[in-house]
Amino acid sequence: MFSRNEYINDPVLQTQEKQVQELFENDKPIVIFDIGACEGESSIRYSRIFQVSSIYTFEPIPANFQRIEENIKHFQTTQIHPFQLCLSDTNGEADFYVSSAEVKNTQAKDWDYGNKSSSLLAPEKTLDLYNWLEFKEKVTVKTQTLEHFCQVRQIFSIDFVHLDVQGAELLVLAGAGNLPIQSMWLEVERVALYKNQPLKKETEHFMQAKGFIKIIDTVNHISGDQFWVQKNLLINKKGADFYKKIQYQMAVRDLKN
């Protein structure tokens, strides 16, 4: 039976967790942003791996944010700073499309599959591909740019960003301005699950223009995740030979796909 406890307490490191661990030492303070955190499970896992980190967790939907606060209390973590806020490319307010579902024939105990597809963008092909999902509700949320958020709190750089915002990734990153970000794990699509969302090539061009190097790509014919690292950090931590090798491997993969 799949549960929140099982997910959080699973000792096997996830793909992105392994990469962050290789880039940054566990006992050194790092700044982590979990954007689109839903119920905060990933934030709690990061807090256990990087025990002297500062983790900023963002979730705009009131019901999800309440669960984040409950989970932080239940799992007794003190490093997580939760914000009921939607990071975007403007400061103000915006409509937010709330997903839900009644998933039958599942062994999930307390895992909500339906609340993980909400977005600033209206749904498009996601309704065809995942016909069990519904978008019955639209709420108004407070938006803020990443650049403004960090300026107010005197955060001058971010070591790792976990970005899962259902098609609004480039809106969030446009709002970062010139804020230094060292590494990033983000969701990427090949098909428009949400209206007017950027697809794989556009996202990759944006990341490359910001000096990032792609080192992991799990995107299939619909969607997946990518891990990006700033070139200087990558060479410093993994060496010039690894940098050349991964550049070649990613180029070959892109040609095949």
Q: Is 46 helix (H, G, I), strand (E, B) or coil?
A: helix
User: What span, in angstroms and rounded, lies between the C-alpha atoms of 3 and 231?
Assistant: 38
pLDDT reported for residue 130: 87
- Token duo for residue 172: 């969030």
Q: What is the mean pLDDT of residues 124-148?
A: 93
Q: What is the mean pLDDT of residues 129-157?
A: 95
Domains observed in the chain: 4-256 (3.40.50.150)
Is the separation of the CB atoms in 167 and 199 below 8 Å? no
- Token duo for residue 221: 């014919």
pLDDT reported for residue 41: 96
Q: What is the mean pLDDT of residues 3-23?
A: 94
Statement: residue 29 has pLDDT above 50: yes
DSSP state of 116: G
Give buried/exposed letters for 109-134 (b at 16+ CB in 10 A, else e): eebbbbbbbbbbbebbebeeebeebb
Compute CA distances 5 → 42, 108, 112, whole Å.
Answer: 12, 11, 13
User: What contacts 10, CB < 8 A, 6 or more positions away?
Assistant: none
Statement: residue 146 has pLDDT above 60: yes
Q: Which of the four pLDDT bands, split at 50, 70 and 90, describes residue 100?
A: confident
Q: Which of the four pLDDT bands, split at 50, 70 and 90, describes residue 102?
A: confident
Residue reference for tokens 């491997």: 249
pLDDT reported for residue 123: 95
pLDDT reported for residue 1: 43
Among 71-85, 91-105, 125-139, top mean pLDDT goes to 71-85
Pairing relation of β-strands 158-163 and 181-189? Answer: parallel
Q: Which of the four pLDDT bands, split at 50, 70 and 90, describes residue 122?
A: very high
Dump strand ranges (E) for 84-205.
86-88, 92-100, 134-145, 158-163, 181-189
Give 170's Cβ-side CA count (13 Å radius). Answer: 18
pLDDT reported for residue 179: 98
Statement: residue 166 has pLDDT above 60: yes
Residue pLDDT, tens place only, 176-198: 999 999 999 999 999 999 999 99
CA-based nearest residue to 31, from 3, 9, 52, 55:
55
Residue pLDDT, tens place only, 45-73: 999 999 999 999 999 999 999 999 999 99
Report helix angle 62-74 to 41-49, nearest 10. 30
Q: Which of the four pLDDT bands, split at 50, 70 and 90, describes residue 3?
A: confident
Statement: residue 168 has pLDDT above 90: yes
Residue % of the chain over a pLDDT of 70: 95
Compute CA distances 100 → 5, 49, 103, 217, 242, whole Å.
Answer: 21, 31, 9, 28, 42
Q: What is the mean pLDDT of residues 156-178?
A: 98
User: What span, in angstroms and rounded, lies between the C-alpha atoms of 256 and 160?
Assistant: 29
Q: What is the mean pLDDT of residues 11-27?
A: 94
Is the separation of the CB atoms in 168 and 92 below 8 Å? no
Question: pTM for the whole thing?
Answer: 0.94
